[in-house]
Structure 1
Amino acid sequence: MKTFRQRQLPFGNGGIRSIMFLYFTITAAAASIFIGLSLYTRMSGQVSETVMEENQILIDQVNRSVENYLKTVMKLSDSLYYSIIKNADLSDPSVGERFNLLYENNMDQTDSIALFSADGELLESVPALRVRNNLDVTREAWFSYTLDRTENQHFFLPQVQQIFESSSDQYRWVIPMTRVVEITKGTDTVQGILLIHLNYTGLKLLLDGVTLGNEGYIYLIDGNGEIIYHPRAQLIDSGLEHENNRAVSEYRDGIYQETFHGEERVITVKSVGYTGWKLIGVAPRQTVSLNSLKTQLLVVFVAAFILFLMSLVNSYISSRITTPIRKLELSVNEIEKGNLNAKVDAEGSYEIRHLGQSVQNMAKQIQVLMADIVSEHEKKRKQEFDTLQSQINPHFLYNTLDIIVWMIENEKPDQAVKAVTALARFFRISLSRGKSIITVKDELEHVRNYLMIQHMRFKNRFSYTIEAEDEVLELASLKLMLQPLVENAIYHGMEFMDGDGEIFISAWKEGEDLYLKVSDNGLGMTEEQVARLFSDTPHTGSSRGSGIGVKNVNERIRLYFGSEYGLSIESEPDEGTVVTIHLPAVAYSEIRQKEEHDKT
């Protein structure tokens, strides 16, 4: 019947205007989101590039300041060596005066200047200094390191000045810078070491207060990764914070991204000339990306505004398209209600007007044919099911009652009660108050009761399994479909088996279709035997079964639901048989409402 093959719209009872508007709006929303994300990504990329460029420029400026600071001290070292020390008599009082003059001109960068012989003797110092008692400068790390590397000037890590005695009780942080010099003694030339203590405060002032964004900072390390300056040096020394300085020391000049202690950071590396030091800029990843709340709100507003405009356009377009269709739908509703004489009002495009005229003509044809078709269809269906009901063979009932009597006589009342209950349920569903359509749940219950009885009769010569998805239990099923198929599996498929028979029944839904399957591991059939089951040859059935044939079941399904539905059989000799029932997936409640409506 055509009524049962109707398909539900994807949006239920939603109108075409609503569907079009929804589709258009979804498309507009997707476009708006895409535009918003593209805009945000582009702006974020530009902001990131700008911030990193600004950070790079700032670090370059700081690096130049540090290099200029160190270059000034290195020029002082060259002036001391080449203008005063080399080829000069250190006993000449003018040497000390010239030392003092250069020191006074560079006091902002220099804490002290000292000249030592290779034996550690203090030859000259400014301001006037004296080596601490019991201190052997030759044991200092910078002393031996400098003598081993005579060709360069050397910078060392910041340290507290502890070589010279001081009238001040304060500790002064200095950065030692050394070089090997040649000292003239008479006609001989010996090596010495020029030591310049850089004022650490001067270097610190160059780096203090320099930040990269809101949370970024810079720090200075030597070639081994040792920290020379860090804005959080005290926290790092106390172990409260950590820095990735060892790993960063391996980086070449450039910009890198790293994850340190779970935080994504952008690292900028710049080498300080003459020293092997490296200036490191650290900026959290979020500070170089577009994370401003105002910017994010702007992007959201732009996307929402585009969505709003497109929704207005969509509403107008869908209204222009669907208004004529809506009018046509109202006219068709009148015909659907039974008023076949209703006038079809069709406006708009040629296609809609032509469709309206076709609906009008169809209504006239329906009026002519409907009475005959309905009458003939109902007559066939009633005759078919009356024939089905009359075909039930009493042998099944007699054999079942014999088993019940035997159980009672052998004092097995529990099994007898179970058999009587199954038989009662079997016939209750078989009759079903004259209804031809029942739920899948009842049809499975019917065949379950039948199998329970047969299982008792045949003394466990076979086992059975019934499985069904929950979503199919309340769908409509034709009554007495499974029982004849199971009957054939028992009486014909397993007739000559010595046990270990298996019957499997399942029900499932695929899209808009319902499937029920009966499979067994019996003797199977040839292709000719399968074809004979669907032929017009009269099928008398088994004297032990119900007498309802496979062809009968197939024709009843096609008569009720349409020619595209019915049975299909797959079988091979000695391999078993699989019978599949194909029905439309229609809710049982819909059919009941239709039957009630037809009665009224």
Structure 2
Amino acid sequence: MIYFWKVLQVRAAAPSNTKRQRAAGRYAALPKGEYAMKGHAVKGQPFKISINRLWVISNCLIMAAFFSLNSFFSQSSYKKVLEQQFEVKQYQMLVYISDTLEQSMQSIELLSRSTVNNYSIINNILNYKKNRNSYEQMVFQNNMNQNLSSVAYSLGDIISVNILLEDEGLKTTKINGVYDYGHYVTGSGLEGIRNLSEGWIPTRKNNLPIQPYIPYITSYVQRIYSGMYYGDAIGHLVINLNEDMFYKQMEKYRQEEGSDILLVDGNGTVLSGTVRDILGMDLSGTEYGAYGELSSGHTELTVKDGHKIVSKRKLQGRDLYVLAITDYDRVVAPIRQTQNVVLICSLLFMALFSVISGLLAYKISKPILSLSREVMNCKGGQFRRIHISSRIYEIDVLCTQFNHMTEEIDKLIGSVLKQEKLKQKKELEILQAQINPHFLYNTLEAINWMALSMKQKEISNMVVLLGSFLRLSLNKGKNVYMVRDELNHLKCYLDIQNIRCKGKILFSSDIDEAALDYRMIKLLLQPLVENSILHGFDFRGGAGQIWLKVYMEEEYIYFTVTDDGCGMPEELVGRICDMQSDVGHGIKNVMKRISLYYGDGCGLTIQSKEKVGTTIEVKILNNVPGQQI
């Protein structure tokens, strides 16, 4: 359509057939970007592409985006589900391991309680403390060995059962015997046993003289009292266990080859686990130190050596925890192969789709390209009918409408030529009319000089005021000037009226100086003051007083014109404000102009009371939208 409009402009400027031909020549020199239809870049013009290529490229991009997003979200969802399933599976494994460990520990703890409350053991200890000699010690050690050995043989994982007393003279070669604290704990990592009421001792290397093939042992310790559950503390019972009993239970329920299971006490010491080289060590000093402060449950952590899925569960009634740590990559490994298969299938499908899309694009774009070539042939303003046969309904409609458009353009060109001639005639008339004000000003100036030469100063003043009044009214044909110009125009009008009425009109003003330099449309106040003089003061011979107040609020300027004339009844005020009535034409004209230039929010309000006077307030913006001085 840009092309056809340029042709119209060219033809409109041509008054004859010769000029039409010149217009056609001008069209031939139009920039190529106006009508370039193929995918070739023109210097200084944007790149353009054929519909055939656009169809194929857009479809391929859409399919690529679809497959990418679909693959991303489906794989993400599958991976999330797989992670959730693994977390549940891992936590269930912890539950099984925790329950098994709790049962094993509970059996050891119950055995320990029954032993420390055994009357025979307590009585032997008390009797020995009364009679400490070599013979009594031998009898005491034999009796205690029998009692402790029966306890040790009750569970296969017990290595030894010992009782510790404060007696440096105690000596024995029995594995299940009674020892002195100092001799027993030295170098064994059990230095703090005296202050322990009961609990599990951290795992340590086997330092006992029996069963050296057992690498690690863990111990349960409980204090012995003189009165079965109460009385004075007389020693400690130590049950030494093969740490392997806990390890086998963990290994039995471990479901993933890459999962690490650790049993950790409240101080962070590793009691047992599938990682054998950190047994008895503080967890914070190992590669698993980041997991020690986790709350119970399961979570994901990124540590230095990669992404891990970590689960933690506390053993019931004990300050012990079971940790399960699994490499994240092992969990999501099944997804990798699936992603590769999906990617290959997507690429193959996209290739097939591209071929099908290209064939469809060719079938659809072929008649469109033919139509574009026919349109391009319409150069130099020579429009002709086109004849393209297509099975596509839209293409057939385009051809029909193009033929109809060429006929309408010929009619439109003739109409534009007539309007252009009329426009030139009107411009000539406007130029002629601009001569008249200059003639009028010159005439008034001549009258002024004649009045001065005849010493008629009052006539001279009136002529000067009239000249100023006309200059401001015409304003060189512009509709906008400054607020100060509007006030000067009103002053000229009042001075002329006072000459006519012999000074009977009194005028007072309160002007906000800040409003003077803002723009407004001309001739808003003079019609209002004229109404006051002609209709308000008429009953008393033209005498009266007018007050003008100009002030600003935010982006608005307010003009308030008040007179002490005869006033108006409410009915008349309503009729003046009614745009459909036939009274108050001057005020209606002001209202229409305010609405036209300033829009909603601006306007004119009238308050009047009979025999008191009338107040008219004008509200306008401090700038005229879309207008310049």
Alignment partners' CA distance in 1, 2:212 and 2:328: 44
Give SS of 1:356's match. Answer: helix
Whole-angstrom distance in 1 between the partners of 2:119 and 2:177:
19
Does the 8 A contact of 2:56 with 2:358 survive in 1?
A: yes
Decide whether the 8 Å contact of 1:227 with 1:245 is kept in 2. no
| One-letter amino acid of the counterpart of residue 153, structure 2 | E
Q: CA–CA distance in 2 between the matches of 1:190 and 1:360?
A: 117
CA RMSD, 1 decimal? 4.5
Greater C-alpha radius of gyration: 2
What is the aligned partner in structure 1 of residue 324 from structure 2? 281
CA distance in 2, matches of 1:109, 1:154: 18
Preserved CA contact (<8 Å) 1:115 1:124: no
Could you tell me how far apart the structure 2 residues matched to 1:350 and 1:267 are?
A: 65
Match of 2:486 in 1: none
- 2:102 aligned partner, one-letter code: E
- Report the counterpart of residue 105 of structure 1 in structure 2: 154
For 2:279 and 2:113, the matched residues in 1 are separated by 36
Query: How far is 1:42 from its partner?
Result: 0.8
**Partners of 1:30 and 1:369 in 2: how far apart?**
48
Q: Distance in 2 between matches of 1:167 and 1:278?
A: 30
> Do structure 1's residue 33 and structure 2's residue 68 form an aligned pair?
yes
The one of 46, 50, 58 aligned to 2:93: 58
Distance 1:234 1:190 in 2: 37
Report if the CA contact (8 A) 1:114-1:124 is conserved: no
Partner of 1:216: 259
Q: Is the 8 A contact 1:32 1:306 kept in 2?
A: no
Q: CA deviation at 1:351?
A: 4.5
- Secondary structure of 1:158's aligned partner: strand
Q: Distance in 1 between matches of 2:238 and 2:281?
A: 31
**1:347–1:224 distance in 2 versus 1, CA, 3 Å:** same
Partner residue, 1:322:
365
1:158 paired to 2:203: yes
Write the deviation string for residues 119-140 of structure 1: whole angstroms up to 9, x where unpaired: 47769997445759x9534667
SS at match of 1:292: helix
The correspondence for 1:136, drawn from 183, 201, 204, is 183
Equivalent residues in 2 for 1:341-356 (5 A)?
344-349=387-392, 351-356=394-399
Tell me the CA shift for residue 279 of structure 1. Answer: 1.6
- Please tell me whether the aligned partners of residues 201 and 218 of structure 2 are also in contact (alpha carbons under 8 angstroms): yes
Deviation at 1:4, TM superposition (A): 0.9
Q: How does 1:101-500 map to 2 (within 5 A)?
A: 101-106=150-155, 108-119=156-167, 127-129=175-177, 136-137=183-184, 145-150=192-197, 153-162=198-207, 166=209, 172-183=215-226, 190-208=233-251, 213-234=256-277, 243-289=286-332, 292-301=335-344, 303-304=346-347, 307=350, 311=354, 314-315=357-358, 318-319=361-362, 321-332=364-375, 344-349=387-392, 351-357=394-400, 359=402
CA contact (8 A) 2:149 2:161 kept: no
Mapped to 2, the partners of 1:254 and 1:125 lie a distance apart of: 48
SS of 1:105's equivalent?
coil
Unaligned runs of 5+ in 1: 371-600
Q: Shift in Å at residue 180 of structure 1?
A: 0.5
1:112–1:197 CA contact under 8 A, matched in 2: yes
Alpha-carbon spacing, 1:121–1:268, altered in 2? closer, same or farther (3 Å):
farther
For 1:140 and 1:120, the matched residues in 2 are separated by 16
Q: Please give the TM-score of this superposition, normalised by the length of structure 1.
A: 0.50
Deviations 1:523-542 (A, max 9, x none): xxxxxxxxxxxxxxxxxxxx
Which letter maps to 1:117? L
1:23 matched to 2:58? The reply is yes
Asked whether the 8 Å contact 1:112–1:125 carries over to 2, the reply is: no
For 1:538-553, what aligned pairs fall within 5 Å after superposition? none
Residue number among 25, 33, 45 corresponding to 1:6 in the alignment: 33
- Relative to structure 1, the CA distance from residue 169 to residue 279 in structure 2 (aligned partners, 3 Å threshold; closer, same or farther) is closer
One-letter identity of the residue aligned with 2:60 = T
2 CA distance for matches of 1:170 and 1:18?
A: 79
Instruction: Tell me how far apart the structure 2 counterparts of residues 322 and 69 of structure 1 sit (CA, whole Å).
Output: 81
AA aligned to 1:100 is: S
Q: What does the per-residue CA deviation read over 1:51-85, in whole Å, with 9 as the maximum and x for residues that have no partner?
A: 11111122222222222222221122122123455
Letter in 1 for 2:69: F
* Structure 1 match to 2:110: 75
Q: Deviations over 1:6-33 (max 9, x none)?
A: 2566954643122123212211221221
Amino acid at match of 1:328: L
Determine if contact 2:260/2:325 at 8 Å carries over to the other structure.
yes
Aligned residues: percent identity?
12
Contact 1:212 1:281 in 2 (8 A): no
Between 266-275 and 314-323, report the one with greater CA deviation. 314-323
Alignment partners' CA distance in 2, 1:368 and 1:19: 36
Deviations along 1:266-293, one digit per CA (max 9) or x if unpaired, are: 2211223454222211112223336633
2:582 equivalent in structure 1: none
DSSP-derived class of the 2:236 partner: strand
Instruction: Report the Cα offset of residue 255 of structure 1.
Output: 1.4
CA distance 1:119–1:141, change in 2 (3 Å): farther
Inter-CA distance 121–248: structure 2 relative to 1 (3 Å threshold): farther
* C-alpha spacing 1:192/1:37, structure 2 compared with 1 (3 Å): same
Secondary structure, aligned partner of 2:390: coil
Q: Distance in 2 between matches of 1:127 and 1:238?
A: 27
Q: TM-score, normalised by structure 2?
A: 0.48
Larger mean CA deviation between 330-339 and 153-162 belongs to 330-339
Q: Deviations along 1:325-373, whole A, 9 cap, x unmatched? A: 2342454466679998785214345553343245557789999999xxx
Q: Aligned pairs, how many? A: 361
Q: Which residue of 1 aligns with 2:579?
A: none
Structure 1 residue 296: Cα displacement: 0.6
- The one-character-per-residue Cα deviations of 1:443-496 (angstroms, maximum 9, x if unpaired) are xxxxxxxxxxxxxxxxxxxxxxxxxxxxxxxxxxxxxxxxxxxxxxxxxxxxxx
Q: 1:337 to 1:123 in 2, by over 3 A?
A: farther
After TM superposition, give the deviation of residue 196 of structure 1 in Å.
Answer: 0.7
Unaligned ranges ≥5, structure 2: 1-25, 41-47, 126-138, 414-629
